[in-house]
Structure 1
Amino acid sequence: MEISIATQAGASDRANEDSTAIGPDLLVVLDGATARTDTGCIHGVAWFTKHLAQKIKNHAALGPAAALAEAIGRTADLHRGTCDLSHPGTPSAAVAIVQTEQGTLRYLVLGDVTVVIAAEGGMHVVSDQRVSSTAAPERAEADAMEATDPKKAAALVRMKRAELAARNVPGGYWVAAADPTAAKHALTGDIPISEVRQVAVLSDGAARAVEFGLYDWPSVLDILRESGPDALIRQVRGAEASDPEATRWPRNKISDDATAAYITAL
């Protein structure tokens, strides 16, 4: 695959918690979950996503789901001796994997990263939004507050704690953390490469282009093809800057880490 990628931290004073890995037949995009509470980990989310992405690439021959499960276990082994991996806030990430093999494009999505595939049969948009169904009262309370409200930080912590109570449990939502069995709950599928026309993968910070109503998915693919991932992220940043109080588009972070990847050839 030939792939163009752009990634940008949401703010200059904090690390980009998105990570990517690419290979001849592989694209991995991770979106690290913001830690608003203690994590029991001395390393941090950016460390976690960097190592998890590399471990997925290292085990890509297993196929997307098995590679993710193996990578979660291997990454956990890296800090099992120094960190409390049973902590409810242990670092986690949403995951997207796109892989080609023997004429087939395979994809996996775990969490709210989005895979967009334009194919002969139509547009496939795959994103696991189960997290949005959790912590409803706490989320509504936080969303109702302007970004500069001094009470908003505490509201976001309450929301995060409620989310974490539903993380990687039946009836909740699933992301990559310390338990390899989470990979069993990923959304997966495959499409013959001969039917695929365009493929993109976006972290939720880049997917704001559609969430905000700036573009629809076909238009996002057009921008990525014609102007590249950097241009899409610039559009999102412009929209975020125009809404500094997060009133037009309620959101937890004024500007989020954003990653956009476009596969230019299969």
Structure 2
Amino acid sequence: MRTELASEPGDADRPNEDFVSVGLPASGQGGSVVVLDGVTPPKGGAGCLHSVPWFTARLGGALTELTVSLPDAPLVDTLSRAIARTAEAHASTCDLSHPRTPQATVVVARWSPATVEYLVLSDSALLVESPDGVVTPLLDDRLALLPRSALATDALVDSTLRNKEGGFFTAAADPSVSRRAVTGTLPRREVRALAALTDGATRWVERFEEGDWTDCFRLMRKEGPQALVDRVRTLERADSARSFPGRGKSHDDATVVYVEF
């Protein structure tokens, strides 16, 4: 098995809000990947004493442990338990009902000798390659399908779309959100490799249109995850120099993990 990962902050002066882990049980019969992209809150507070990195470390750590220690539990239940455990850790000190209480996008993949299970919540991505080289993106595209007018301000998003029916969902403090995730199971024999990416890395495809998902996967296989992140940074610097308005963060935290069976 080949496993490689890269993760770096969008700004060297700010902590990386992403989380990534690879869990390999002692039995050697399977494993898991967990990738979270912490949601940066707007200025003005989020009702919580803790930072986004604190939250992603707690949630990611719980998910990593549970995916390995409870291999027969569905990933929806595993995420629900991890959210509940994390919420309990700060329920007595923080307002978990605040729409910007710390939260994150989630990608989980878990494999056994027979299957590959997956869960995707919000706009990070999981790419799966078959033995014949076909790359399939497994995405939760609810945020991408929303009209730009609906995303005009943070206040509008928080009041009408964030973790609401007809909008999009992230892992925050409500364990039931796990049922909103995109999930599925594939036969292990149909998966040669997989990769999980936060949206700071998927912008190579989705924002800069340097290639499709197959091109992206081939780049990771040939040159590794860090090469993809480096290319994104080069494109971001050129984009910033052209000063396009309304393009979101100039540089975002970028995380990539690649697993080849």
TM-score clears 0.5: yes
Alignment match of 1:167 (pick from 162, 170, 174): 162
4+ runs deviating over 4 angstroms: 245-250
> Partner amino acid for 1:255?
H
Tell me the alpha carbon deviations over residues 212-240 of structure 1, each in whole angstroms, 9 at most, x when there is no partner: 11121111111111111000000000000
Pairing 1:132-147 to 2, within 5 Å after superposition: 132-134=144-146, 136-137=148-149, 139=151
Pairing 1:217-228 to 2, within 5 Å after superposition: 217-228=213-224
Alignment match of 1:232 (pick from 228, 232, 241): 228
SS at match of 1:132: coil
> Partner amino acid for 1:49?
T
Pairing 1:58-69 to 2, within 5 Å after superposition: 58-60=65-67, 61=70, 62-69=73-80
Match of 1:129 in 2: 141
Identity, in percent, stands at: 37
Separation of aligned partners in 2, 1:5 and 1:119: 20
Separation of aligned partners in 1, 2:145 and 2:65: 33
Match of 1:26 in 2: 32
Q: CA RMSD in A?
A: 1.8
Q: Cα distance 1:135–1:75, how it changes in 2: closer, same or farther (>3 A)? A: farther
Residue 207 (1) aligns with residue 202 (2): yes
Match of 2:176 in 1: 181
Q: CA deviation at 1:54?
A: 0.5
Separation of aligned partners in 2, 1:29 and 1:249: 29
Separation of aligned partners in 2, 1:79 and 1:120: 44
Q: What TM-score results when the alignment is normalised by the length of structure 2?
A: 0.89
SS at match of 1:105: strand
SS at match of 1:84: coil
> Partner amino acid for 1:46?
P
Residue 97 (1) aligns with residue 104 (2): no
Separation of aligned partners in 2, 1:112 and 1:64: 18
Residue 86 (1) aligns with residue 97 (2): yes
Q: CA deviation at 1:123?
A: 2.8
Contact 1:243 1:249 in 2 (8 A): no
Contact 1:111 1:130 in 2 (8 A): yes
Q: CA deviation at 1:198?
A: 2.2
Separation of aligned partners in 1, 2:122 and 2:256: 16
Q: Cα distance 1:246–1:256, how it changes in 2: closer, same or farther (>3 A)? A: farther
Q: Cα distance 1:134–1:75, how it changes in 2: closer, same or farther (>3 A)? A: same
Separation of aligned partners in 1, 2:146 and 2:220: 32
Contact 1:92 1:175 in 2 (8 A): yes
Residue 242 (1) aligns with residue 254 (2): no
Contact 1:198 1:221 in 2 (8 A): no
Tell me the alpha carbon deviations over residues 166-200 of structure 1, each in whole angstroms, 9 at most, x when there is no partner: 12221111110000000001001111111112211
Tell me the alpha carbon deviations over residues 69-110 of structure 1, each in whole angstroms, 9 at most, x when there is no partner: 000000000111111101111011000000012410011000
Contact 2:38 2:105 in 1 (8 A): yes
Contact 2:112 2:188 in 1 (8 A): no
Separation of aligned partners in 2, 1:207 and 1:56: 22
Q: Cα distance 1:164–1:246, how it changes in 2: closer, same or farther (>3 A)? A: farther
Q: Which runs of 5+ in 1 are unaligned?
A: 142-158
Separation of aligned partners in 1, 2:245 and 2:219: 22
> Partner amino acid for 1:54?
G
Q: CA deviation at 1:118?
A: 1.4
SS at match of 1:238: helix
Contact 1:134 1:163 in 2 (8 A): no
Tell me the alpha carbon deviations over residues 138-165 of structure 1, each in whole angstroms, 9 at most, x when there is no partner: 64x6xxxxxxxxxxxxxxxxx2222222
Deviates more, 1:194-203 or 1:58-67: 58-67
Q: Which runs of 5+ in 2 are unaligned?
A: 25-30
SS at match of 1:21: strand
